[in-house]
């Protein structure tokens, strides 16, 4: 009697499912949120590492569950994705995704009540996006809220007990929300390899415009310039669409630019140069990793 033995998925399958190349942008989100929440120069405390690990688990969970819920659509539009290609079962991806959500909540629970409440809101937004992003015109905003909640969770973990999030943290959350909403709108067109309308990408300009006054400081001006260059290059790719894959390349660039936005936000807050350098390094690391592990 023959027995069918299913091979365990290779590590590369899990890395692709998790879009792990984009993780440095999550870490700089946490770093910026920590500083704005009151972490200051002590942003690299053990608690910050714990928050980074917890938020990384949330990010990976979102990516896994996105593929799991989209498996039928991917079978038609992107059959090379791991689930429709038969490299891993949908059940295994669902189990991994929900386990990572639980792990993320556990990590934030160790940091206090306010961080875990932010984590609960983040988990709810992740599930809302993954379950209902196809055909939902508001889904880019939902994804933007997910990244804003990362700032809130990190800030809450760094804040003193009973301290409410400050205006700087709220403004930063809105800035990252706008940037991520813009790139998510573009990402929704990736399977078509075309952009139906470019005007929604105007939200990408919200963050640079909001932080333009801070550019009177040399460090903030440098970060603003680097962010603008990265965004303009991505939008040019979206406009020209001269080669197949231009939309995906532009989206990957915009994802990596999240770290540059974090750097601008930190510069505006007067953060020391090593933290700004960490954001620029995270941008470069994301771009390099995206060459090995696709970021979309």
Helix (H) or strand (E) holding 77, with range, is helix 71-77
CB neighbours of 169 closer than 8 A, spacing ≥ 6? Answer: 33, 36, 37, 151, 152, 155
Residue 4 reports pLDDT greater than 50: no
Q: What's the CA gap between 172 and 169, in Å, rounded?
A: 5
Q: How far apart are CA 95 and CA 74, in angstroms?
A: 19
Give the pLDDT score at 92.
96
Question: What is the distance between the alpha carbons of residues 174 and 176, in angstroms, rounded to a whole number?
Answer: 6
Determine the average pLDDT of the residues in 159-165: 64
Domain 20-290 indexed as CATH 1.10.357.140: yes
Q: Pick the range with the lowest mean pLDDT from 176-180, 244-248, 252-256.
A: 244-248
Average of per-residue pLDDT across 10-16: 90
pLDDT digits (tens, 9 = 90+) for 59-90: 999 999 999 999 998 898 889 999 999 999 99
Domain boundaries, the chain: 20-290
Give the pair of three-digit tokens for residue 223: 């970060």
Residue 118 has which token pair?
């932010």
Question: How many of the other CB atoms lie within 10 Å of CB of 106?
Answer: 13
* 185: pLDDT strictly greater than 70: yes
Contacts of 39 (CB under 8 A, 6+ apart): 45, 48, 158
Average pLDDT of the segment spanning 170-174: 92
Higher pLDDT, 3 or 63: 63
- pLDDT tens-digit readout, 188-228: 776 555 556 776 778 888 988 888 888 789 999 999 999 99
The alpha-helical segments, DSSP class H, found in 132-166 are: 139-158
Q: Tell me, what's the pLDDT at 247?
A: 82
- For the cut 60, the answer to whether the pLDDT of residue 162 exceeds it is no
Q: What is residue 43's three-state secondary structure?
A: coil
Quick check: 42 pLDDT over 60? no
């Amino acid at each position: 009697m023959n027995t069918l033995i299913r091979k365990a998925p290779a590590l590369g399958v899990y890395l692709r499912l998790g879009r792990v190349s984009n993780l440095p942008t999550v870490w700089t989100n946490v770093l910026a949120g920590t500083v704005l929440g009151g972490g200051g120069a002590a942003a690299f405390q053990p608690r910050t590492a714990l928050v980074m690990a917890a938020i990384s688990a949330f990010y990976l969970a979102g990516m896994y569950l996105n593929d799991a819920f989209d498996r039928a659509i991917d079978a038609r539009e992107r059959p090379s994705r791991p689930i429709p290609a038969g490299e891993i079962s949908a059940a295994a991806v669902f189990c991994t995704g929900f386990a990572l959500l639980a792990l993320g909540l556990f990590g934030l629970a160790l940091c206090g009540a306010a961080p875990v409440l932010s984590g609960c809101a983040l988990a709810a937004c992740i599930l809302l996006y993954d379950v209902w992003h196809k055909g939902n015109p508001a889904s880019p905003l939902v994804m933007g809220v997910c990244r804003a909640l990362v700032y809130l969770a990190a800030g809450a973990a760094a804040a003193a007990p009973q301290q409410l999030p400050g205006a700087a943290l709220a403004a930063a959350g809105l800035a990252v929300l706008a940037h991520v909403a813009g790139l998510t709108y573009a990402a929704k067109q990736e399977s078509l390899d075309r952009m139906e309308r470019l005007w929604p990408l105007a939200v990408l300009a919200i963050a640079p415009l909001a932080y333009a006054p801070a550019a009177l400081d040399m460090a903030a001006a440098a970060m603003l310039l680097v962010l603008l260059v990265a965004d303009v290059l991505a939008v040019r790719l979206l406009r020209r669409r001269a080669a197949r894959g231009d939309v995906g390349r532009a989206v990957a660039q915009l994802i990596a630019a999240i770290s540059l936005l974090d750097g601008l936000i930190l510069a505006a807050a007067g953060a020391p140069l090593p933290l700004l350098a960490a954001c620029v390094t995270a941008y470069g690391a994301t771009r390099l990793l995206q060459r090995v592990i696709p970021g979309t």
